[in-house]
Structure formats: C-alpha cells, structure tokens
Homo-oligomer: A and B are copies of this chain.
Amino acid sequence: MSIFVVGHKNPDTDSICSALGYAALKQAMGEDAVAIRCGEVNKETCYALDYFKVEEPKLVEKLSEKQQVIQVDHNEAGQAIDGLDKAELLEIIDHHRFGGLTTAAPLYVHTEPVGCTATIVANMFWDNDIKMPKEIAGLLLSAILSDTVLYKSPTCTDMDKDAAEHLADIAGVELKEYGLAMLKAGAGVGDLTPLQIAKTDSKPFSFGSYKALVSQISVTDTSEVLDMKDDILAAMKEICDKEGFNIIMLMVTDIIDEATDLVYYGEPKQLIADAFGKDVSGDYIHLPGVMSRKKQIVPQLTEAAAKF
C-alpha cells in the first residue's frame, strides 16, 4: 500500500501542491508515495493545476487503520485528515507553529520558519540532487506565490524568494505575471454562499480555553464581502452553534491594498480587542498591512489568550 502524502483539511494551494511535490520527490527516491487531499480544491489551486496540466490528488475523507501517512503544511491535530489517530504518521514537513504535537514514537519532522512548505520541499529536491519535473516546479512556485501573496506577506523570507525564482526558471513562466493571474483567479466571492465565504480557507485553533475558527478570503475589493456582512454573520452564528466554536473570525484580505478587514462573531470579543488594540464594538475591524494569519493574527491571539 502506498504512503499517503496529505495537507490540511480545507486545503489551500500549498497543501495540495506540496503534497504533490513531496510525493514526486519520494517517488524519485524510490518510495511508493502518492499525494491525496482531504477536502475540495479551491479556485486558485484549480488555476495552478490546470495551468501546469496536473490532475488533482485523489480525495480521501478518512484514513483507514495503519495507513502510513506523511503530513505536509500542518501539524495541529484539529487540522488533520480524519482517522490520523489510528494511522501511522511517518513524517511532517511544515512551516507553522506547533500546536500540541504528541506522538507515540519518534518520527521524521522537518519544519522551518519560512513562508511556504513548498520552499522546504523545493530545497529537498535540490539538496538530494533530484531532477524536478517542470510541472512540479510550477506547482511549488504556485504555492509560494499563494502563501506569500506575491512576496507581500511578512511571512515571506529570502529563502522563499530564492526558491520561487529558481522554480519560475524551471517551470518557464514569468513569475509576477503568472502569480497575479493565479491570485486573481482565486480572489473574490464569485458565487459562494455566505456560509461558504465564512468557511473559506478556515482553520480551527485553540486560544487558551477558547475554540476558534479563523477563515481567510482574498479579494481585490473588500466591499464585495462587506456588503454581505449581515448574511455572513448569520452563517458564522450557525457554525458556532453547530460546530461548538466560541468565536469565528473571517479575514477579508485585500491583496491589492495589502490590508485585512477582520469580521468576527462570538465571544470573548475582548480577546480580539486585546490582541489588536482596537475597539471591537462593531462587527469588524480594519487592520492595515495585515495579510498573514500565521504571523499577524494567530500569535497575537495566542499571546492575548495567555494573559486572559
């Protein structure tokens, strides 16, 4: 049975493309590994897969017992594919904070504080002198441009930029032009329902004793989301009630203006007030310069919760 390589639930471009890239690396090194996904592919990722003519990974909703698995782009139990607790976790390749990782046995873990898992995967190809297929270079490039929002995110490091430029050469695309087209393909609400908007690219977190969901949607004009705010708040209430979250936040991130409007529902709102030093009596706050959940939202909420 093949080893599964899988990203997080509600996969973004990095989770899909790093899974495909790492599975390709493992195959080139003689291991029987195959990329899978545990959720729907988003519009942006579809654009990248279509552009480089790669099929989306097979959907697996729950791992069978004893399945050997490699996690990419996440390490927190709440974000992982169902059935992971009974499976055999072999490796983790990631670029996020650790959220309570507990394993029965030692395993191979490689994490780095870089902007994208694909940057780590690309360097693994080069460190091991493995020739990278053109389409894999294109997918890893897509992941970096997505996670760093074309280098604009504060999570972006020189290592990400170096990898992206090298990958663009291999893939044969003009980096900025391709990246902007990909981001635009993924941005905006399109025909998403308020519930789908509230759950776009969502990840669960524990902040102190509070169970939170933090979603993020990229737009080129925040008003297309804010105009639907009341319906989105009603959907957030429904998610809180049904899934047991204390609080839900939706980052509406303007990739042109480089700012986020953070829409929230639930309690304690004071956590948001403490984290960002803002008045939270309205339904949302404006956060200029904020583009990264990982660097500009989650640590601030984690620290605020620790002092709560």
Contacts and interface: CB of A to CB of B under 8 A. Distances in A.
Nearest to A107: B113
A109 interface: yes
A164 to B, nearest CB: 18
Interface stretch (A98-106, A133-141, A251-259): A98-106
A303 interface: yes
Contacts of A101: 98, 100-102
A26 interface: no
A211 interface: no
A199 interface: no
Interface string A287-308: 0000000110001001100000
Interface string A108-122: 111111100000000
A286 B58 CA distance: 49
A211 B74 CA distance: 29
A269 interface: no
A95 interface: yes
Contacts of A111: 106-109
A97 B108 contact: no
A253 to B, nearest CB: 19
A184 interface: no
A162 interface: no
Contacts of A99: 102
A174 interface: no
Contacts of A113: 105-108
Contacts of A105: 97, 113, 295, 299
A109 B99 CA distance: 14
A303 B100 contact: no
Contacts of A110: 109-110
Contact of A106 (B104, B109, B112): B112
A135 to B, nearest CB: 28
B104 A302 contact: yes
Contacts of A302: 104
Contacts of A108: 111-113
A158 interface: no
Contact of A102 (B98, B107, B303): B98
A96 B96 CA distance: 20
Nearest to A110: B110
21 contacts: A94-B106, A95-B106, A97-B102, A97-B106, A98-B101, A98-B103, A98-B109, A99-B102, A100-B100, A104-B299, A104-B302, A104-B303, A105-B113, A105-B299, A106-B113, A106-B114, A107-B111, A107-B113, A109-B110, A109-B111, A110-B110
Top 4 closest A-B pairs, CB basis?
A106-B113, A98-B101, A109-B111, A98-B103
Interface of A: 94-114, 127, 294-295, 299, 302-303
